[in-house]
């Protein structure tokens, strides 16, 4: 395989409404590792949709690609985004200080780095 990223769209089962995306990117096929990125429309937060999607893509990455490591990075002050790796069993490896710009581009922000290895995933509550 030569793909460097895979993006999946998230639709509500009940209505087919598009609500977000989840992706595997930054894939290193030699080490067999990848990162997960995600975005969810704010009207649909707090319902577990993204936890379910991230759990599914992590399971897919381990089962179908044989990844040895999957990483999530998110702004350290984004509590909602940090809850996803934490509830799924990812380990906080550290914080990269002044590593990125805020969404509005006006200030430096810290980035929390999480990772998970095969066999560590905790199923999201449904």
pTM of model > 0.75: yes
pLDDT digits (tens, 9 = 90+) for 53-77: 999 999 999 999 999 999 999 999 9
Closest CA to 115 of 80, 67, 65: 67
Torsion of CA 49, 24, 62, 28, to 10 degrees: -160
Give the Cα separation of 96 and 73 in Å (integer): 10
- Pick the more confident residue, 36 or 123: 36
CA atoms within 13 A on the CB side of 124: 19
**Is it the case that residue 105 has pLDDT exceeding 80?**
yes
Domains, the chain, in order of start with CATH, read 6-116 (3.40.630.30)
């Amino acid at each position: 395989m030569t793909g460097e990223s895979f993006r999946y769209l998230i639709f509500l089962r009940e209505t087919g409404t598009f609500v977000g995306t989840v992706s595997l990117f930054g894939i290193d096929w030699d080490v067999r590792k990848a990162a997960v990125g995600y975005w969810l429309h704010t009207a649909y937060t707090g319902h577990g949709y993204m936890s379910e999607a991230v759990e599914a893509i992590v399971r897919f990455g381990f089962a179908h690609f044989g990844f040895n490591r999957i990483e999530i990075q998110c702004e350290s002050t984004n509590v909602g985004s940090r809850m996803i790796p934490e509830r799924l069993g990812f380990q906080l490896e550290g914080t990269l200080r002044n590593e990125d710009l805020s969404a509005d581009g006006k200030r430096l922000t810290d980035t929390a780095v999480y990772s998970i290895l095969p066999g560590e995933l905790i199923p999201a509550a449904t």
